[in-house]
Amino acid sequence: MPKFVVLLNWTEQGVRAYRDTPKRYDAFKAALDKQGVKLLDFLWTVGPYDVVFTIEAPDDETATAASLQLSSLGNVRTTTLRAFGREEMDGIIAKAAA
C-alpha cells in the first residue's frame, strides 16, 4: 500500500483546545480505521510542525480524503507527502534509467 508522511500545524482553534489532543487522536485513529487507512506512527513534535504521522492507504484518493476529513474539523492544517520505501525506490530508479 502507498505510504504517506503527514505534517500538521495546529490552527488557533486547535491550539486553544490543546488539552483535547489525545481525544482528537483517538477519534482520528477510529476515522482512519473506517476508511481502511493504517496509522503507522503518530508523534507530537517541537519545531516547525506540531504533529508528524505516517499512514498506509489503499490509494492516493483515500489518503487525500482522510487528510481533508481531518482538516475540515478546523484544528489543524496538513501537508501530505507521498513516501516511497526501498523496493519502490528501486523500481523508480529502474524506470528512470530505461
The pLDDT score that the predictor gives to residue 73 is 95
Q: Is the pLDDT of residue 95 over 80?
A: yes
pTM score, two decimals? 0.90
> Where residue 79 falls among pLDDT bands split at 50, 70, 90?
very high
What mean pLDDT comes out for the span 34-45? 97
The pLDDT score that the predictor gives to residue 96 is 95
The pLDDT score that the predictor gives to residue 53 is 98
Using alpha carbons, select from 76, 81, 83, 75 the residue that is nearest to residue 8: 76
The pLDDT score that the predictor gives to residue 77 is 97
The pLDDT score that the predictor gives to residue 4 is 98
Q: How far apart are CA 44 and CA 15, in angstroms?
A: 13
Looking at domain 3-97, which CATH architecture does it have?
2-Layer Sandwich (3.30)
